[in-house]
Amino acid sequence: MTDIEEYGRRARAWLETATAGLPGEPGLQQAREFMARLYDAGYSGITWPEEYGGQGLSVAEERAFQQAAKDFALPVGVFGIGLGMCGPTLLSLGTEEQKRRYIRPLLRGEEIWCQLFSEPGAGSDVASLQTRAVPDGDGWLINGQKVWTSVARQADYGLLIARTDPDAPKHRGITMFIVDMHHPGVTVRPLRDMTGESHFNEIFFDDVEVPADQVVGGVHDGWNAAVTTLLHERVSIGMGATRTERPASFAGVSRRAAERGLTADAAVRDRLVDLYLRERAFDLLNARMAQEVKAGIAPGARGSVIKLLLADLTLFGADVAAEILGPDVVAHDGADAALARALSWAPGMALGGGTNEIMRNIIGDRVLGLPREPQVDRDVPFRELRVGTQKETGK
Amino acid sequence: MRLIRTDEQRELADATRAFLAGTSPMARVREIAETPGVCHDPDVWRRMAGELGLTGLAVPEEYGGAGFGHGEVAVVMEELGAALTPTPYLASVVLAANVLLALDDEAAAKDLLPGIANGSVIATFAPPVPGDRMPGARAHGDGHTLEGPVPRVLHAADADLILVAATLADEVEDGSGPLAVFAVDPAAPGLTRTELTTLDLTRPQYRLEFDGTPARLVGPSDAGPALERAMDLAAVALAAEQLGGMRRCLDTIVEYAKLRVQFGRYVGSFQGVKHRLADMHCTLEQAESIVRYAAWAADEAPEELPVAAALAQSFMGRAYFQVAKDSLLLHGGIGFTWEHDAHLYYKRAKSDELLLGAPRHHRARLAERLGLVT
Ligand SMILES: Cc1cc2nc3c(=O)[nH]c(=O)nc-3n(C[C@H](O)[C@H](O)[C@H](O)COP(=O)(O)OP(=O)(O)OC[C@H]3O[C@@H](n4cnc5c(N)ncnc54)[C@H](O)[C@@H]3O)c2cc1C
């Protein structure tokens, strides 16, 4: 057995014990406790630098752990944005002090992070954001509104991007800040989403003071920082996909179809084959990209390929599962609850982290190197732009 | 599971690509395709066999081969598929050699494989496709004779050796007995070859008609399992060819979309075009992953091969045709011209999709192998 296999074997053994006592739907406190145990056992921040609290190991160990973790339902969702996006952004762009201050508690689940990018007027075109940060004594004063922010209610900190120079073109006058979500000027209001639950929120900032040393990646250079976060986001959404069980997976749907005697129908089998093909194609691509990363080839913008395919697969799986299993999915007595939920969840995957259209733009521009669309707003001072949802002005 | 190539495989790909760029440019491909009676370039074949050693890659050393794996054959197929080279490689090195190996007939292997491995013999094998009628074989003394038609055989005019699957007539029950494999000399009496009009001009196909043709039984009288394995290996190699063609189609149209201007813009900047190219790229990324996996399974995980092979054909047939079709369409009118290469790939893609049976057969086989049929 190689060292890596041995590492994976030990991780699996640890996970078996650690998840044994977990309730079906762990609460926030239990999730935090679990994260602390995961960290103390050395399985959080496996590849992150040791000096900031990581394990300093290679992608091979990370992969081995993920491979083992695939078979367990780990209550780590609430930490996903910190682990997948905010932490990596701080590691690439944060100051020495920021890394020393924030990374360890983030890895240990002591502090939860959220991503404060989208605004009512700025989603796909997040660079047209209107939240303002103005110099105030030694620091900054923030006013404005964010929306669709996942885990904001649980979060202790957020990575926020705000406009610091409205006279510059939109990409050039933005700065990224670390914001204390417990500041009295921060108001978080849950938004009910189509699942009937509240996974995201709207957030209001009224005179929120932020010290100067909480700027990430340089004043007015926040767009670069945001792009760094978004690259991590696509990779982590895609690659994290294997961690959680997909309710509309081929294995799950075909088992239930067989139980109900539906696989005797050749048309049903053919639809199941469609699902298998898409799922396998996605999983194999994911695995191949992981092997490439291990071999030193960075995924870069190809994370968008994974994100787009996962969104498609998620929508397709829920759709096909319902089509095969029939009306019980849409009018159930509890037995098909997971699938009904999957149907309501599916669109979220195709919107959060950038819509399918935006992913296709990125693949076209950055992976295939196609000519960009003409950008009418690129060099215009932000102040003069039309942004967000506007009534037709007749112009 | 290994989904990326080894250094040696990358070198093999580079060497093959460079060789084909020099010896089989599109102008030459067209010349062969449009010359009646010419199906490949014997000089290119000799050099592929001799200089590059490509014809014996997966044949074990004891039968005169190099003893590498199916992964290496897949590397070559990918390059041949990209270059659209007219060659009996698939017929001889993939179909015929794999059938002979799978049949596990020591004497026949010793006899027939070394020639295939060193390229001095071009062999072909008619893959039994679901729904096709098979010829019948009858025992005569210590040999057999064949009777009836074989609907499609690749490169039969170039072949020095023809392998066919036939039903043993004495054991036939309601038309479907066990299949056995027979070796036939193309010059044998009672064998008629009729050239078919093929959509894909780079790959000739023939109908054979046997009328008391003497043939040599190779392997067991029930070759079912051996045929299944050989067909799975063919599915993997064909998938690699499809991947190569698909990548070439996408590269070509991406390049064109960066050159062609309409409405004052490069057409590649229009989202209607760009988004389709992005989707084609996603398909290619998945296709490459599936082909790498199937090639790995062929060498390293025989127990996974049946599902991997059916997966590869179920996915690749549609994927290649889709990409070849969209590539042609996005070229606009020039894509519809005879001079442009787009139609050559479009036609290859459709022919490949059907070569080992229609997509529904691959999908049905996949369903069966996944245990969906009880
Ligand atoms: C479940 C979920 C969780 C989320 N979590 C967070 C979070 O934690 N933090 C955060 O900051 N945000 C979050 N978001 C917000 C998400 O990033 C945005 O909703 C998304 O980027 C789309 O922006 P929008 O809603 O303003 O739609 P718009 O940008 O207004 O898009 C409307 C339509 O126009 C299309 N479109 C827009 N621009 C283009 C273009 N250039 N080319 C082609 N088509 C275009 C879009 O694809 C879409 O179909 C989340 C969203 C969801 C659904």
Architecture of domain B225-369: Up-down Bundle (1.20)
Question: Across residues B169-178, what is the average pLDDT?
Answer: 69
Residue-level pLDDT at A295: 85
User: How far is ligand 1, taken at its centre, from the CA of residue A128, in Å?
Assistant: 13
* B361 pLDDT above the threshold of 80: yes
Residue of A nearest to B313 (CA): A277
Q: Tell me if B164 sits within 8 A of B147, measured CB to CB.
A: no
Structure-block tokens of residue B47: 């050099």
Chain B residues closer than 8 Å to A355 by CB: none
Provide the number of CB pairs (under 8 Å) joining chain A to chain B: 120
* B80 pLDDT above the threshold of 70: yes
Residue-level pLDDT at A336: 78
Interchain contact A273–B (C-beta under 8 A): yes
Distance CA B237, CA B54 (A): 14
Question: Across residues B124-148, what is the average pLDDT?
Answer: 90
User: How far is ligand 1, taken at its centre, from the CA of residue A355, in Å?
Assistant: 5
Distance CA B32, CA B92 (A): 19
Task: Convert the pLDDT of each residue in A56-109 to its tens digit.
Answer: 998 889 888 988 888 888 899 899 999 999 999 999 999 999 999 999 999 999
Length of chain A: 395
Task: Give B175: exposed, middle or buried? Use CB within 10 Å, 0-12, 13-18, 19+.
Answer: exposed
Question: Across residues A330-354, what is the average pLDDT?
Answer: 89
Q: Tell me if A92 sits within 8 A of A49, measured CB to CB.
A: no
Question: Across residues A135-149, what is the average pLDDT?
Answer: 96
The helix/strand/coil state of A168 is coil
Q: Among A269, A280, A284, A306, which would you mutate to test the B interface (most chain B Cβ atoms within 10 Å of its Cβ)?
A: A284
Question: Across residues B289-300, what is the average pLDDT?
Answer: 98
Task: Convert the pLDDT of each residue in B191-201 to its tens digit.
Answer: 999 999 999 99
Least confident residue range of A116-130, A336-350, B96-110: A336-350
Distance CA B150, CA B162 (A): 11
Q: Residue A333 — pLDDT band, cuts 50, 70, 90?
A: confident
* A235 pLDDT above the threshold of 80: no
Min Cα separation A68/chain B (Å): 16
* B137 pLDDT above the threshold of 70: yes
- B164 vs B176, more confident: B164
Nearest to A288 among B3, B269, B271 (CB): B3
Q: Residue A394 — pLDDT band, cuts 50, 70, 90?
A: very low
Task: Convert the pLDDT of each residue in A8-33 to its tens digit.
Answer: 999 999 999 999 888 878 899 999 99
DSSP class per residue in A130-145:
--EEEEETTEEEEEEE
Interchain contact A272–B (C-beta under 8 A): yes
Which residue do the tokens 């409405």 mark? B263
* A271 pLDDT above the threshold of 60: yes
Distance CA A352, CA A339 (A): 20
Partner residues linked to B191 by β-bridges:
B210
Residue-level pLDDT at B215: 97
Distance CA B153, CA A257 (A): 40
Q: Residue A321 — pLDDT band, cuts 50, 70, 90?
A: very high
Q: Do B367 and A273 touch (CB under 8 A)?
A: yes
Task: Convert the pLDDT of each residue in A30-67 to its tens digit.
Answer: 999 999 999 999 999 999 999 999 999 988 898 889 88
Architecture of domain A3-107: Orthogonal Bundle (1.10)
Q: Tell me if B54 sits within 8 A of B46, measured CB to CB.
A: no
Q: Taking Cα atoms as reference points, which of A209, A127, A229, A228 lies closest to residue A168? A: A127
Look over chain A and give the mean of its residue pLDDT values, rounded to a whole number: 91
Distance CA B220, CA A175 (A): 75
Domain ranges of chain B: 7-119, 124-222, 225-369
Q: Residue B176 — pLDDT band, cuts 50, 70, 90?
A: low
Model ipTM value:
0.94
Catalytic residues of A: 233
- A63 vs B207, more confident: B207
Distance CA B48, CA B120 (A): 11
Distance CA B222, CA B343 (A): 41
Q: Do B274 and A374 touch (CB under 8 A)?
A: no
Q: Does domain A113-220 have CATH number 3.40.50.300?
A: no
Task: Convert the pLDDT of each residue in B219-229 to its tens digit.
Answer: 999 999 999 99
Amino acid (one-letter) located at B311? L
Question: Across residues A310-324, what is the average pLDDT?
Answer: 95
Q: Which residues line ligand 1 (CB under 6 A)?
A: A 114-115, 117-118, 123-124, 148-150, 199-200, 348, 351-352, 354-355, 357-358, 361; B 271
Structure-block tokens of residue B256: 């064109």
Residue-level pLDDT at A395: 41
Architecture of domain B124-222: Beta Barrel (2.40)
User: How far is ligand 1, taken at its centre, from the CA of residue A227, in Å?
Assistant: 15
Residue-level pLDDT at A241: 46
Q: Among A239, A360, A361, A365, which would you mutate to test the B interface (most chain B Cβ atoms within 10 Å of its Cβ)?
A: A360
* A243 pLDDT above the threshold of 50: no
Partner residues linked to A204 by β-bridges:
A145, A187
Domain ranges of chain A: 3-107, 113-220, 241-354
* A311 pLDDT above the threshold of 50: yes
Q: Residue A361 — pLDDT band, cuts 50, 70, 90?
A: very high
Sequence-distant (6+) residues with CB within 8 A of A29 are none
Q: Taking Cα atoms as reference points, which of A189, A186, A191 lies closest to residue A205? A: A186
Residue-level pLDDT at A238: 60
Least confident residue range of A12-26, A163-177, A186-200, A276-290: A12-26
* B238 pLDDT above the threshold of 60: yes
Architecture of domain B7-119: Orthogonal Bundle (1.10)
Question: Across residues A285-295, what is the average pLDDT?
Answer: 88
Handedness of CA B11, B14, B15, B16 (dihedral sign): positive
**For the stretch B56-88, what's the b/e string if a residue is b when 16 or more beta carbons lie within 10 angstroms of its beta carbon?**
bbbbeeebbbbebbbbbbbbbbbbbbbbbbbbb
Residue-level pLDDT at A41: 96
Task: Give A261: exposed, middle or buried? Use CB within 10 Å, 0-12, 13-18, 19+.
Answer: exposed
Q: Residue A239 — pLDDT band, cuts 50, 70, 90?
A: low
